[in-house]
Structure 1
């Protein structure tokens, strides 16, 4: 961690040692989460972003000094700077901070500093982090605990994506995409799954698996690794960790050797069993992946001393996280959902959930690939997942942080798809979805880019 002891008396890495903290890119969902908790814990906070976003006004009302547009003068008298991963090296505030010799922290380093002496619960995995972190938080709140939390998505039932709690428990989503999940020191770590992804950062699948080994190794001898028995990557990680004997391991899932067994016979028939008995879970969110996420949250709650019955009851109040099979509206008998799914496994899970909700009706998906590199690596796998839909429409690639790669377009996916899928332009997409959908059908917009904006437009077009 790139901390400097600014006070002369506070330990390195402590919250007080950071002094006055300035956030570059404070409007981002992850950055605003850390800023929100720091403000609540009494840290003098300032921040800036290119656009004026609602969360910035909220931070300002809490006492943060907020500026719109980047300018070196926004640093003021900051003693530590936190820069979002999307901030370019030539950003005037970042350049000024480096010229002044100020410590510049990654978001994860700043978040780790806020955790202090709390009992830290980190949730990692290639998929399901935000939902599982949200479930753990909602469950603990429902059981009468008041955890601090930081989640990489907005959670409607919580009202915010981060808050300072009073229980001495800190629940945080731990992002593996750039290796920054290694900056935490958890007492309990959940791993929902381990798959090859973010190869633009890691280079090889083996490097991804090795990073999760390092993540599990952060746990102390009296800590606990909670891993999904149904996922080959997470199971292999659990087995390696058990063999190393460095910390305790708990497996959850439908597998026969799971320590916490999940029974999932579809919506309305989900339960878990432990040594204390079998407990029904009244989940509001569909899909096997969400039932597994709930089992992980249940296991964490038991480890933190929550009674099983109270844990099962509290899970029923979880209504979902933003952009995780989120209902955007209904018109003409067609329900329109939006999902952040941007890896083949996530697309498959979202479409399977959509199928369970649709029943005998049809499922139509509008998918936007995210990143040229991911499209190149997983074109066939995306096509296989999208073929689960009755209609699959594929938009152009959302580039995000990447420059184009010659020969890599959405056509790579479409070429592998069955006859029900084809490319669609941004201008054609809404009309094409509306033409395909009939009463009782489900429409799903999927991807990590601006495809999320299509859901409300589809609902309006259906009404029109």
Structure 2
């Protein structure tokens, strides 16, 4: 299939962050793009403003006639977030349309380009966007398909210069969900973490590890693997293929950081490897975990011959990804940070960094668990990591693609949370409660629709300043 010769493309689940990046790529090529999503969002509204047609009804009558009736080769791109029993999926299947998963289409788009694929149960969005920014900012011909909206480019798609004589490098976020990353063909692979997750897909942690090892083996034999030392410890005795292996980490690995200093606006550190040392780098996206992400990004930048000056400028100018340690408001009165963390290890890393930034201040965390299965599988881990906050407010579980599981709820996390103040609160009562307690440092955490509370909370804070 030559994707550039398609007549039109329909996306089932076009509002997903990974789906929308591919939709934007087809739209950029001038191929008509249509799609469905369950509910409107700022992202679907942006796609419509860019010229794509989006409907919100799971009904074949809502498919535009231009897609169903006009001649030419057509493609339906599907994400498993839309169930196979949906009316639209059933219609396309029964009428003989070519249906491909998002991951397969991403593999087709990138198969003939030199690619950098970033995998990991957490950290991959920030790391991939940081790599893309370092290369792009340095003038390297770069494209990127990302799992978040970059603050530097206000987009999840970065386009390369097709007129350039320089062969492009494409940076791809390699998603482990549904084993999607096995469709890629990386020249360079990065693995940020291999912590148990998506056990509803993999069954157990051992199967997840096997999935990551299969991804690593896809790396070009003449290529490179940059892997966090803790992730490497879980797979070091397995066959990882022929690519050169490089370990990185905050305080361990051939690539590591020294002289780390945490501030409220930025973190500073020295990059150290066997062949390079770059002192006093300033990263304006705080977090110890973001320094680790930066170590991997810098290592890739050095592989592509970026100068120390270019790397220093790229790291300093990197502004992060929306909903990844995003500081919404900061003043003497209150600080408000929003983060996408939805795994115990992500929450632990996030809260540890917030603690380091604001020592002595009361930390109030609002957390919305994501998925019933994840809450069930990692209940103890969630409780332990959330205990880093002085006060924990739990919202109801965001179900996403799942049906409720009897006995699984946010309240099951409460007994093992050691914070002195803790409760489950209905989301409609959250704002009134925050007004009552007047938090010093407030964080909202989760991958569900908790993001829809960010603007109301920010407005309340700004009105009270």
TM-score using structure 1 length = 0.89
TM-superposed deviation, 1:101:
1.8
Q: Is residue 252 of structure 1 aligned with residue 248 of structure 2?
A: yes
TM-superposed deviation, 1:255:
4.0
The corresponding residue for 1:10 is: none
The corresponding residue for 1:85 is: 80
The corresponding residue for 2:277 is: 277
Local SS of the residue matching 2:278: strand
For the residues of structure 2 that align with 1:62 and 1:102, how far apart are their CA atoms?
Answer: 25
The corresponding residue for 1:28 is: 16
Q: After TM superposition, list the pairs within 5 Å mapping 1:94-109 onto structure 2.
A: 94-109=89-104
TM-score using structure 2 length = 0.89
TM-superposed deviation, 1:253:
1.6
Q: After TM superposition, list the pairs within 5 Å mapping 1:134-145 onto structure 2.
A: 134-145=129-140
For the residues of structure 1 that align with 2:35 and 2:448, how far apart are their CA atoms?
Answer: 25
For the residues of structure 2 that align with 1:95 and 1:427, how far apart are their CA atoms?
Answer: 36
1:345-400 Cα offsets, whole Å, 9 max, x none, are 01111111211221322211011111111111111111111111111111221111
Local SS of the residue matching 1:179: helix
The corresponding residue for 1:455 is: 454
The corresponding residue for 1:8 is: none
1:386-443 Cα offsets, whole Å, 9 max, x none, are 11111111122111111111111112110111233222222332233344345xx210
Moved more, 418-427 or 387-396: 418-427
Residues 137 and 314, structure 2, Cα contact 8 Å, conserved in 1:
yes
Residues matched between the structures, number = 445
The corresponding residue for 1:427 is: 428
Moved more, 371-380 or 21-30: 21-30
For the residues of structure 1 that align with 2:143 and 2:34, how far apart are their CA atoms?
Answer: 21
For the residues of structure 1 that align with 2:113 and 2:74, how far apart are their CA atoms?
Answer: 24
Local SS of the residue matching 1:444: strand
Local SS of the residue matching 1:316: helix
For the residues of structure 2 that align with 1:450 and 1:199, how far apart are their CA atoms?
Answer: 22
The corresponding residue for 1:168 is: 168
TM-superposed deviation, 1:107:
0.8
TM-superposed deviation, 1:185:
0.6
The corresponding residue for 1:209 is: 209
Residues 363 and 390, structure 1, Cα contact 8 Å, conserved in 2:
yes
Runs of 5+ consecutive residues of structure 1 not aligned to the other structure: 6-13
Moved more, 216-225 or 71-80: 71-80
| Shift in alpha-carbon separation, 1:179–1:332, aligned structure 2, 3 A | same
Local SS of the residue matching 1:265: strand
Local SS of the residue matching 2:91: helix
The runs of at least 4 consecutive aligned structure 1 residues that moved more than 4 Å come to: 50-68
The corresponding residue for 1:40 is: 28
| Shift in alpha-carbon separation, 1:406–1:159, aligned structure 2, 3 A | same
The corresponding residue for 1:177 is: 177
Moved more, 156-165 or 324-333: 324-333
For the residues of structure 2 that align with 1:64 and 1:337, how far apart are their CA atoms?
Answer: 32
Runs of 5+ consecutive residues of structure 2 not aligned to the other structure: 162-166
1:10-38 Cα offsets, whole Å, 9 max, x none, are xxxx4346553222222322211001112
Residues 250 and 291, structure 2, Cα contact 8 Å, conserved in 1:
no
For the residues of structure 1 that align with 2:441 and 2:290, how far apart are their CA atoms?
Answer: 18
